[in-house]
C-alpha cells in the first residue's frame, strides 16, 4: 500500500501568526524538500488560501487537503480537514455565519493575506481570524463529519487553546488527538491520561518555512480523508505511525 509522509497542520500567510514567506510556492517547495507528500492547510478560522496551495501543488506529487484550524466557542483549536474545496467552502460558510463582529488589529496581531497560487496578494482578511467562533466542539464534529471531513483537536496538551489544557478532558466524540511536537506523547499522557484512550498524531503546526517536520506516516490506498480515518482506526495495524517523535 502507498505510504504518505504527512504534515497535517500548516498555516499560510493568512494566519496572523505565520511568517510572511508562507505563500503557496514556498509551502510546496519546503514540503517536497522534506520528503512530505501530503499536507493540510489549516489557517485560523479560514480556508481561503487552501485552493491556492492546492493549485501550486498540481503536478508536483504533493497532495494538499484544504482545511482550517477552528477556534471553537470553548476557545479550543481543532483541525478540520476536507478532501475538496467545495466541502471546505461549505464549512467556511457555516463558520462565517458564526463569526464575531471583530476587526483584526494588524499592528498587534499581525497581517492576514489572501493570495493566489503564485503568492501574489489578492486581498487582506479584515476580520480578526483568531477569535472564538460560536460553534461548540460537538457541533463542529457533527457538521464537519456531515460534509465528509474529520475533526482532530490540535496541540491538546497546551494550556492555550488545547482541548485538554483548556477543558481537562477529551470526549469520545473525537477520533484522534494531536499532541504538539514540543513534548513527547509519554510526557503529554502523564499530564493528561485521557490521551492514552485515543490514536495520537504529531504535526509541526508549521508557521514558517523551517517548520516542516513530517513526523507522521500513513499507509493508505489514496490521500483522502476517508483513508486517513481508516488509518487512524487501524492504528493497531500501524497504518498510522509517528516516524520520528517531536522534540524530546
- Site map 187..206 versus Zn ion, x via CB under 5 A: ------------------x-
If one asks whether residue 158 binds Zn ion (CB under 5 A), the answer comes out as: no
Contact 26, 122 (CB under 8 A): no
- Minimum CB distance to Zn ion, residue 205 (Å): 4
Q: What angle do CA 12, 18, 22 make, to 5 degrees?
A: 45
Nearer to Zn ion, 11 or 239 (CB): 11
DSSP annotation of 180 reads P
At residue 243, the 3 state secondary structure works out as coil
Residue with cell 460534509: 147
If one asks whether residue 83 binds Zn ion (CB under 5 A), the answer comes out as: no
- Minimum CB distance to Zn ion, residue 42 (Å): 6
Strands 63-71 and 77-81: antiparallel
- Minimum CB distance to Zn ion, residue 71 (Å): 8
Question: For residues 222 and 31, what is the distance between their CA atoms, to the nearest angstrom?
Answer: 18
Of 24, 53, 76, 77, the one binding Zn ion (CB under 5 A) is 77
Nearer to Zn ion, 53 or 220 (CB): 53
At residue 80, the 3 state secondary structure works out as strand
- Site map 54..73 versus Zn ion, x via CB under 5 A: ---------------x----
- Minimum CB distance to Zn ion, residue 79 (Å): 8
Where in 87-146 is the site for Zn ion (CB under 5 A)?
A: none
Give residue number: closest CB to Zn ion.
Answer: 77
Nearer to Zn ion, 176 or 220 (CB): 176
Contact 150, 85 (CB under 8 A): no
Strands 121-124 and 113-115: antiparallel
* Closest of 65, 71, 107, 112 to residue 87, by C-alpha: 65
At residue 52, the 3 state secondary structure works out as helix
Q: Largest alpha-carbon pair distance within the chain? A: 49
Residue with cell 504534515: 7
**Segment near Zn ion (CB under 5 A), from 115-123, 149-157, 186-194, 239-247?**
149-157
Nearer to Zn ion, 23 or 163 (CB): 163
**Segment near Zn ion (CB under 5 A), from 106-114, 138-146, 157-165, 166-174?**
157-165
- Minimum CB distance to Zn ion, residue 163 (Å): 11
Q: Which residues bind Zn ion (CB under 5 A)?
A: 69, 77, 154, 161, 205
Amino acid at each position: 500500500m502507498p505510504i504518505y509522509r504527512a504534515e497535517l497542520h500548516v498555516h499560510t500567510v493568512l494566519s496572523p501568526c505565520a511568517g510572511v514567506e508562507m505563500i503557496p510556492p514556498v509551502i510546496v517547495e519546503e514540503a517536497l524538500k522534506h520528503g512530505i507528500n501530503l499536507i493540510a492547510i489549516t489557517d485560523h478560522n479560514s480556508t481561503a488560501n487552501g485552493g491556492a496551495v492546492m493549485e501550486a501543488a498540481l503536478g508536483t506529487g504533493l497532495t494538499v487537503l484544504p482545511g482550517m484550524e477552528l477556534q471553537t466557542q470553548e476557545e479550543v483549536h481543532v483541525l478540520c480537514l476536507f478532501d475538496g474545496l467545495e466541502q471546505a467552502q461549505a464549512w467556511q460558510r457555516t463558520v462565517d455565519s458564526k463569526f464575531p463582529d471583530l476587526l483584526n488589529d494588524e499592528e498587534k496581531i499581525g497581517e492576514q493575506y489572501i493570495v493566489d497560487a503564485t503568492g501574489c496578494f489578492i486581498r487582506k482578511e479584515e476580520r480578526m481570524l483568531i477569535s472564538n467562533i460560536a460553534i461548540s466542539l460537538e457541533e463542529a464534529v457533527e457538521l464537519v463529519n456531515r460534509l465528509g471531513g474529520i475533526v482532530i483537536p490540535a496541540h491538546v496538551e497546551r494550556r492555550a487553546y488545547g482541548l485538554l489544557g483548556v477543558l481537562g478532558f477529551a470526549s469520545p466524540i473525537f477520533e484522534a488527538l494531536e499532541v504538539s511536537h514540543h513534548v513527547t506523547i509519554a510526557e503529554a499522557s502523564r499530564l493528561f491520561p485521557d490521551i492514552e484512550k485515543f490514536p495520537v498524531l504529531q504535526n509541526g503546526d508549521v508557521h514558517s518555512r523551517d517548520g516542516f517536520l513530517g513526523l507522521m506516516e500513513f499507509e493508505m490506498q489514496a490521500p483522502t480523508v476517508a483513508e486517513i480515518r481508516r488509518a487512524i482506526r487501524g492504528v493497531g495495524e500501524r497504518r498510522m505511525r509517528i516516524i520520528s517523535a517531536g522534540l524530546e
